[in-house]
Amino acid sequence: MYVILAIIIILGLLKACIRQDKPLEDTYKPLSETRKEIIYPEDHKNITINGIDYIQSQAPIGKFGGTLTSSTIGEGPKTFNPFNSKDNISSTLSEIMYDGLLTTHPVTGQPIPKLAKSFTISDNGKEYTIKLRHGIKWSDGKPITADDVVFTWKDIILAGLGNTSTRDSIIIDGKLPEVYKIDDYTVKFITPEPFAPFIRMLSSPIAPKHIFGPAAKKGAKYFDTFLSTNTKPEDFVVSGAFKIKEYVPAQRVVYERNPNYYFINKNNEKLPYLDRLVYLIVGDLNNEVLKFEAKELDIINLQGSKVARYKAMEPHSDFVIYNLGPNTGTMYLAMNLNNRKNNEGKYYVNPVKQSWFNDINFRKAADYAVDRTNIVLNIANGIGEPLFTAESLNSIFLNKDLKPYERDLNKSKELLKESGFYWDKQGRLFDKNKNRVEFDLLTNAGNTEREAIGVMIKQDLEDLGMKVNFKPIEFNSLVNKLVNTLDWDMVIMGFTGSPLEPNGGKNVMMSDGTLHVYNMRLEKDKNSPRYDFEKRIDELFINGALATKFEDRKKYYDEYQKIIYEEKPFIYIYSPTIIVAIRDKFKNIFPTSLGGVIYNIEEIYVCEGPENSEIKSDNPSGER
């Protein structure tokens, strides 16, 4: 039997080889060509039929039925309670079921109504009046009213049940916003001060009071276990397009359509089109790729190294590749600008090195020496964009006036000379006090991308005659150095930001922030002197949060980006580009950089060719 097995395997592999043996030509197309021209439908409209305020989708009318299978990487959700989730996977999987009052416009990024019919903000920027839709229902048929909204905010979010990150982010000077019920379909929020980021928080899910109420009364400890992954699917009452049907640990989560959903198409038929939405839980990236190739998955995020191969396969395959543009990640190189002493009276940073890092010419010289184009080409396989700004490239607050530039070693050398640095005969760099320029460059070991970047930056900086000791160290030790012991010279790290709300980065940018990496202040140093540019950024962040009009806020955040761009406490490197492949049988796909590919899950439908017919899931007997 082994002989047979061996022969089968060999044949299978041979077959695979033959299929794979096509020459991978024209794989190095410039990225911009992969971007598809997408014609977006008009915005949704509010339509009232028989006293019920529906949202009408303006996308082309599709066919009902079918399944979309997506995936999550890791061990799967930890909870299906959207107020408890502390990880991305749990949030994604639970928020499918619970809509918020508002949502984000997928193209412009502005807040638009969802469960709410409309919203207004008072002129003083403190009062938010939300009108709810009449006649819309939870999945069990009970109406969605102001009571649910007030309950969700008062008794869950503001009471600090579950994950308190929403609550933490809206405490203004120690005070919380208040929420009032005006009538059954009107709710008013009042913030103690004008606080622009608050509007984004109105996208938080709304919970059905008749289900969550009893749980909230039993206290925080009980609430933490409420709607855990062991809850029976029948016990969920939802407002979203899909409701959980089955959760199989470490395998998948299956959702079925919510018949009471309040979206309709142009024929006034209730959406979503799809019968089912399936998330497979896969352990790692490689398995995800295998599952996509075996057609068990319909959609996949492609890593840079895979894009070229998929691009070559695309013309004779059943999937389409979309380029969603740069992601929200900001990879940076930072120098330790700390000039204080630790408890033992020793400087965190060697004073000789301090004099270099605090020298703007030195930072600029390093910046001009970094070859971002080369890094994007070699590390991200060309699937990325050089980055120069503190806000990510898809941010709606991005300062577009800050122009990218190329590597310029001559400029670097001029800047160094200006500050008194000089080179000896072997081209080694010394400062004006005859100290050899030598420092450590850290990053976290195990992250192959950052390690590779480190090697390239080390070479780039050594072209200036600096001696760079590149040391990838274990993640936890690195975090400890960055936030506690502060004894580091230069580091390569990354943060993920929000493309919608720069205020989320205040812990990094403000001078007393808990992640103010480049000049971290411990508790005892909270009142130590600030650099001028730090002071200005602090002001800008405070004003940016208080201003309510987008245009006014944009001015503040533009200026902060300009300061970072000029002062270079962070030297940004690049953002990877998101590339997604999805089966071409799915229609109404309008990918955006902010929303992704399946943000409009209720509008997506399946247009099956004859070859896809076996995937139909509405087969009542269930036989494959």
Partner 1 sequence: MKILKYIFKRILQTIPLLIIVSIISFFIIRLSPVDPLAELRLNPSVSQETLQKEAERLGLDKPVIVQYGLWAKSFLKGDLGITSNGEKVSVKLKERIPNTLLLTVVVIFLTWIVGIPLGILAALKWKSPFDRILTVLTSIGMAIPSFFFAVLLLIFAVRTGWFPVGGLTSPNFADMGLISQIKDIAHHLFLPVTVLFTISLAGLQRQMRANMLDVLDSDYVKFARAKGLSEFKVIYKHALRNAVNPLITLLGFEFAGLLSGAALTEYVFQYPGLGRLILEAVLKSDINLVMASLMMGAAMLIAGNLLADILLIITDPRVKT
Residues 21-80 that bind partner 1 (CB under 8 A): 67, 69, 74-75, 78-79
- Report, in Å, the least distance between residue 2 CB and partner 1: 5
Tokens 């020496």 — which residue? 369
Q: Which of 7, 15, 49, 485 binds partner 1 (CB under 8 A)?
A: 15
Q: Which is nearer to partner 1, 40 or 475 (CB)?
A: 475
For residues 67 and 605, is the Cβ–Cβ distance under 8 A? no
- Report, in Å, the least distance between residue 622 CB and partner 1: 3
Exposure of 421 in the CB half-sphere (CA atoms within 13 A)? 28
- How does strand 263-264 pair with strand 422-423? unpaired
- Report, in Å, the least distance between residue 294 CB and partner 1: 4
| Touching partner 1, residues 365-404 (CB under 8 A) | none
Q: Which is nearer to partner 1, 376 or 396 (CB)?
A: 396
CA dihedral 89, 92, 95, 96 (to 10 degrees): -120
Considering the rule CB under 8 A, would residue 477 count as an interface residue with partner 1?
yes
Number of residues that bind partner 1 (CB under 8 A): 72
Stretch that binds partner 1, among 8-16, 382-390, 528-536, 570-578 (CB under 8 A): 8-16
- Report, in Å, the least distance between residue 204 CB and partner 1: 14
Considering the rule CB under 8 A, would residue 611 count as an interface residue with partner 1?
no
Q: Which of 35, 137, 181, 245 binds partner 1 (CB under 8 A)?
A: 245
Q: Which of 47, 427, 475, 485 binds partner 1 (CB under 8 A)?
A: 475
Q: Which is nearer to partner 1, 512 or 539 (CB)?
A: 512
Q: Which is nearer to partner 1, 224 or 608 (CB)?
A: 224
For residues 175 and 51, is the Cβ–Cβ distance under 8 A? no
Alpha-carbon gap, residue 497 to 518, rounded angstroms: 17
Q: Which is nearer to partner 1, 159 or 483 (CB)?
A: 483
Which residues are CB-neighbours of 47 under 8 A, at least 6 positions away?
53, 54, 55, 56, 264, 268
Alpha-carbon gap, residue 598 to 616, rounded angstroms: 20
Considering the rule CB under 8 A, would residue 623 count as an interface residue with partner 1?
yes
Q: Which is nearer to partner 1, 463 or 512 (CB)?
A: 512
Q: Which is nearer to partner 1, 286 or 426 (CB)?
A: 286
Q: Which is nearer to partner 1, 304 or 513 (CB)?
A: 513
Q: Which is nearer to partner 1, 149 or 509 (CB)?
A: 509
- Report, in Å, the least distance between residue 283 CB and partner 1: 5
Nearest to 55 by CA among 42, 65, 64: 42
| Touching partner 1, residues 505-564 (CB under 8 A) | 505-508, 513-515
Alpha-carbon gap, residue 424 to 597, rounded angstroms: 55
Distances (CA, A) of 314 to 96, 321, 612: 30, 7, 17
Tokens 């911009």 — which residue? 32
In a 3-state reduction of DSSP, which class is residue 27?
coil
Structure tokens, 33: 């060509």
- Report, in Å, the least distance between residue 157 CB and partner 1: 14
- Report, in Å, the least distance between residue 315 CB and partner 1: 20
- Report, in Å, the least distance between residue 586 CB and partner 1: 16
| Touching partner 1, residues 83-142 (CB under 8 A) | 84, 86-87
Start-end of H helices in 119-196: 146-151, 165-169
Q: How many degrees, rounded to 5, is the angle at CA 333 between CA 331 and CA 335?
A: 150
Q: Which is nearer to partner 1, 60 or 249 (CB)?
A: 249
Q: Which is nearer to partner 1, 404 or 446 (CB)?
A: 446
Alpha-carbon gap, residue 481 to 381, rounded angstroms: 31
Considering the rule CB under 8 A, would residue 624 count as an interface residue with partner 1?
yes
| Touching partner 1, residues 250-309 (CB under 8 A) | 250-252, 254, 276, 278, 280, 282-283, 287, 290-291, 293-296
Q: Binding marks (x or -) toward partner 1, 164..183, rule CB under 8 A?
A: xx--xx--------------
- Report, in Å, the least distance between residue 140 CB and partner 1: 21
3-state SS record for 40-77? CCCCCEEEEECCEEEEECCCCCCCCCCEEEEEEECCCC
- Report, in Å, the least distance between residue 3 CB and partner 1: 8
- Report, in Å, the least distance between residue 246 CB and partner 1: 5
Nearest to 185 by CA among 113, 117, 132, 114: 132
- Report, in Å, the least distance between residue 266 CB and partner 1: 31
20: burial class by Cβ within 10 Å (0-12, 13-18, 19+)?
exposed
Chain centroid, CA 201 distance in Å? 16
φ, ψ (nearest 5 deg) of residue 84? -100, -15
Q: Which is nearer to partner 1, 317 or 361 (CB)?
A: 317
Q: Which of 229, 339, 342, 612 binds partner 1 (CB under 8 A)?
A: 229
- How does strand 438-444 pair with strand 490-496? parallel
- Report, in Å, the least distance between residue 171 CB and partner 1: 9
For residues 564 and 363, is the Cβ–Cβ distance under 8 A? no
